[in-house]
A and B are shown apart, each in its own frame.
Chain A
Amino acid sequence: MNTDLFGLQVNVWADAALRLQLIVVFMTVVVMGLIWAERRILGRFQQRIGPQKTGPFGLLQSLADAVKLVGKEDLRPKNADPWTFELAPFLVFIPIFMGFVIVPFLVGWNIKVLELGLLYFVAISSVNIVGWVMAGWGSDNRYAMIGGLRAAAQSISYELPLVLSLLSVAMVAGTLNLDEIVRQQGSVPYIVWQPMAFAIFFIAALAELNRAPFDIPVGESEVVGGPFVEYSGIRWSMFMLAEYAGLLIMAVVGASVFLGGYAWPLGEELGLGWQVVLVGAKASLIIFAVFWIRASLPRLRIDQLMGYSWKILLPLVLVQILVNGLVLVYGWSEAILGVVGLAGVVALVSITGRAANRPRQIPARAAALKGEAA
């Protein structure tokens, strides 16, 4: 059985192998670039230069780090659970890479066009949490265990708003095929009709990726790296790779679902090169925002993180879905969606600000605990 690859007739297995190889190479290179970019951008925010000695503008810094990490000793704590400990990095790393199968970088040029692409993406992107929990449990370290459990709690809480915000677009688009969703945005990207869904997607994606201000599982100043605290060398670098690969895939999916991917604003007739540039630029915008947030926002506390998801994000996104349903059933104009979405963004911002500035109170449970201790 043969398939079409670059206009050539290729055996289907060779085709699959080639395409997967392509993901791995592409991903690794882009992730190295991302790590470099983050370090340079954070450097700018912090009035320092960032990596500069390795190659022009320090571009080879990630390569140098990778070589160093590969050369390091692969330590395993004596009492660690060997299987859990050694398997965990792979379980974090592989699902993220599998997610890339459906990403539409160019027109008709995904690795594989899936009818249920979006569903596949949300399903596969939450598998890696198993790896986090395994790393936390298997390390035989209390910091790691706290970190792993925090990661599990956080991932479960933010999975819902993330999926529902994507579903909100899927409802309007009428398809779960990512490529189809991009094509529909030739004239107007979905962020115009679904601004609140985008805001919630962005926030939930930050939490899913354990990026600041939701980097509670790895909180450097509290649990000192969380589940990764006992990892070294190549295993640690796989976590690192997975983190940035996750960032990339979230950014590309966000750019495709909300910002019009390669289709907006110039249509599908563009050359392949320009389409890549367009998707890259949109994804870069999202990634830059993520770096920016990391440089300026403190970390949330675990109860605030949970409350934010369940009490604020989830109800808001459910309201959005309800409005979507009404608009679809009664055939109202899409402009209603835009207005409701904008009102939703305003509500989100004001509720967030209000939640932050609540009057001071010592939590009742803390007071009770204090009484118990006394």
Chain B
Amino acid sequence: MVTERAREFDTQDLLINVGPQHPSTHGVFRMVLEIDGELVKDVIPYIGYLHRGAEKLCETMDYRQGIGFMDRTEYLAAFNAELSYVMAVEALAGLEVPERAQWIRMILCELNRISSHFMFMGAFGVDTGVMGTPFIYGWREREGIIDLFEEISGDRMMYAYFRPGGLAWDVTTNFKARVREVLKSITQGIKDFDGLFTENEIFVARTKGVGYISAEDAIDYGMSGPSLRASGVPMDVRQDEPYLKYAEIDFKVITGEHGDVFDRYYCRLQELRESVKIIEQCLAKMPDTGPIMPEKMPRMLRTPPGEVYIRTEAPRGEYGVYLVSNGGNRPYRLKVRSACLSNLQALKQMSVGQYVADAILVLGSIDIVLSEVDR
């Protein structure tokens, strides 16, 4: 029996609204935290602020026009998003991609993975409370990569460079030298982050043991990418179902063992090193000359009726494209399987029972891109 006197001391849980305009929600994400003092008791995420119907819009236009929309679903790793879409169209149309184009695609996708991971490091650093320094470190490395992308594709973020069948045009003649130059600066950047974060006592104290999710739960939520691998599941589409030329490349799938925020960060850091290795191997194996498009490409690309699901390993996880054709020159149905959306489902599981500050870290460690979640 609770007496009247005791009831006076009953506390009430506080609801605080984080987002859609909040510095740590990485876009227009909104979550309502139910907190008891500093402890999170419940998390109610609201998504959809950035929904633009990109998939539906793609159904109204030519296959090649859809590429631009795919860029915009995943603006931090647009090459990876393009790749899934373009590969899906190629699979439907039965196009054979020239070898050189495949190598170039691989190099660009891995570089894009690196730039995306650097962006994560920077934003995550700001989430943990460092005043801007990691953000600018990450930005610096990303800038070099983006400059390279601009030289090649003409655009800094929305490349629209991959086309069904190959590439829009050939890369610049000094491509290999430029990539090597960028790799050098990236290698230094990785070291910088290792020093700034991994060896930082406060960072370690803040991230270790926080936001735990077990391997079983992570699989049940359909997580993928570094967020899943941090829980110890060695799932990587590049290794499991090699596409492009990944079968010819020697690389490790990085896994963590604890499934906490620190492991999710550390997996990404080590993945950066693996990506650098992959690119170096690609540069050695890539032929210097050769076609980048099949000999005969129709002016209007039509696909036979059918459906296809193609998945690739984007920086945030499995980026899948489900494409249905009824024989025309445009998709009958397009559905993007977004890694961020699935990863975000585990937010509640990871944040409940943690402190408010940890909930912010957990959200940061999933590394969401809202335009991919909402599309």
Q: Using CB atoms and an 8 Å cutoff, list the residues of chain A in contact with chain B.
A: 42, 45-48, 142-143, 146, 212-213, 215-216, 219-224, 294-304, 352-353, 355-358, 360-363, 365-370, 373
Among A213, A356, A366, contact of B353 (Cβ-Cβ < 8 Å)? A366
A221/B41 in contact, CB under 8 A:
no
Q: Given the interface contacts A221-B126, A360-B260, does A365 sit within 8 Å of B357 by beta carbon?
A: no
Taken together as a complex, chains A and B put the C-alpha atoms of A221 and B131 apart, in Å, by 10
B202/A221 in contact, CB under 8 A:
no
A362/B136 in contact, CB under 8 A:
no
Q: Given the interface contacts A48-B136, A367-B353, does A298 sit within 8 Å of B128 by beta carbon?
A: yes
7 interchain residue pairs of minimum CB distance:
A299-B129, A366-B353, A356-B201, A360-B209, A298-B128, A356-B205, A369-B353
Taken together as a complex, chains A and B put the C-alpha atoms of A362 and B350 apart, in Å, by 11
Taken together as a complex, chains A and B put the C-alpha atoms of A92 and B211 apart, in Å, by 36
B38 in contact (CB, < 8 A): yes
Taken together as a complex, chains A and B put the C-alpha atoms of A212 and B137 apart, in Å, by 19
A296/B133 in contact, CB under 8 A:
yes
B209/A362 in contact, CB under 8 A:
yes
B24/A221 in contact, CB under 8 A:
yes
B196/A221 in contact, CB under 8 A:
no
B50 in contact (CB, < 8 A): no
A370/B353 in contact, CB under 8 A:
yes
Interface string of B254-268 (1 = CB under 8 A from A): 000010100000000
Taken together as a complex, chains A and B put the C-alpha atoms of A366 and B126 apart, in Å, by 25
CB neighbours of B201 from chain A (8 A): 352-353, 356-357
A143/B202 in contact, CB under 8 A:
no
CB neighbours of B133 from chain A (8 A): 45-46, 295-296
CB neighbours of B203 from chain A (8 A): 298
Taken together as a complex, chains A and B put the C-alpha atoms of A357 and B205 apart, in Å, by 6
CB distance from A83 to the nearest CB of B (A): 24
CB neighbours of B353 from chain A (8 A): 362-363, 365-370, 373
Q: Which residue of A lies closest to B262 (CB)?
A: A360
Interface string of B22-47 (1 = CB under 8 A from A): 11100000000000001101100000
Taken together as a complex, chains A and B put the C-alpha atoms of A297 and B130 apart, in Å, by 5
Q: Using CB atoms and an 8 Å cutoff, list the residues of chain B in contact with chain A.
A: 14-17, 22-24, 38-39, 41-42, 125-133, 136-137, 140, 196, 200-206, 208-209, 212, 258, 260, 352-358, 360
Q: Which residue of B lies closest to A301 (CB)?
A: B357
CB neighbours of A356 from chain B (8 A): 201-202, 204-205
CB distance from B139 to the nearest CB of A (A): 9
Taken together as a complex, chains A and B put the C-alpha atoms of A219 and B23 apart, in Å, by 11
A360/B208 in contact, CB under 8 A:
yes
Taken together as a complex, chains A and B put the C-alpha atoms of A301 and B203 apart, in Å, by 10
CB neighbours of B352 from chain A (8 A): 366, 369-370, 373
List 19 additional contacts besides A146-B14, A302-B38, A302-B355; criterion CB under 8 Å.
Answer: A47-B137, A48-B136, A213-B202, A215-B129, A216-B357, A221-B23, A221-B24, A221-B128, A224-B23, A296-B130, A296-B196, A298-B202, A299-B206, A356-B202, A357-B205, A360-B212, A365-B39, A366-B39, A366-B352
CB neighbours of A301 from chain B (8 A): 205-206, 355, 357-358
Most buried by B among A215, A223, A365: A223
Among B130, B136, B202, B357, contact of A302 (Cβ-Cβ < 8 Å)? B357
A222/B356 in contact, CB under 8 A:
yes
Q: Given the interface contacts A298-B129, A360-B208, does A220 sit within 8 Å of B200 by beta carbon?
A: no
B16/A146 in contact, CB under 8 A:
yes
Q: Which residue of B lies closest to A302 (CB)?
A: B38
CB neighbours of B22 from chain A (8 A): 224
Taken together as a complex, chains A and B put the C-alpha atoms of A299 and B128 apart, in Å, by 6
B200/A362 in contact, CB under 8 A:
no
Taken together as a complex, chains A and B put the C-alpha atoms of A48 and B143 apart, in Å, by 14
Q: Which residue of A lies closest to B359 (CB)?
A: A222
Taken together as a complex, chains A and B put the C-alpha atoms of A310 and B41 apart, in Å, by 26
Q: Which residue of B lies closest to A370 (CB)?
A: B353
Taken together as a complex, chains A and B put the C-alpha atoms of A304 and B201 apart, in Å, by 12
CB neighbours of B24 from chain A (8 A): 221-222
B357/A298 in contact, CB under 8 A:
no
A300/B41 in contact, CB under 8 A:
no
Taken together as a complex, chains A and B put the C-alpha atoms of A312 and B42 apart, in Å, by 32
A47/B140 in contact, CB under 8 A:
yes
Q: Which residue of A lies closest to B349 (CB)?
A: A370
Taken together as a complex, chains A and B put the C-alpha atoms of A365 and B38 apart, in Å, by 12
B38/A303 in contact, CB under 8 A:
yes
CB neighbours of B126 from chain A (8 A): 221
B136/A222 in contact, CB under 8 A:
no
Q: Given the interface contacts A221-B129, A297-B200, does A146 sit within 8 Å of B209 by beta carbon?
A: no
Taken together as a complex, chains A and B put the C-alpha atoms of A304 and B258 apart, in Å, by 21
CB distance from A165 to the nearest CB of B (A): 21
Taken together as a complex, chains A and B put the C-alpha atoms of A356 and B208 apart, in Å, by 9
Q: Which residue of B lies closest to A360 (CB)?
A: B209
Q: Which residue of B lies closest to A220 (CB)?
A: B23
CB neighbours of A368 from chain B (8 A): 353
CB distance from A176 to the nearest CB of B (A): 34
CB distance from A8 to the nearest CB of B (A): 47
CB neighbours of A299 from chain B (8 A): 128-130, 202, 206, 357
CB distance from B356 to the nearest CB of A (A): 6
In the complex, 21 of the A-B residue pairs with CB atoms within 8 angstroms, ordered by the A residue number, are: A42-B131, A46-B132, A215-B129, A220-B129, A296-B133, A296-B200, A299-B202, A299-B206, A300-B205, A301-B357, A302-B357, A303-B38, A303-B355, A304-B205, A353-B201, A360-B208, A362-B212, A365-B353, A366-B39, A369-B352, A373-B352
CB neighbours of A363 from chain B (8 A): 353
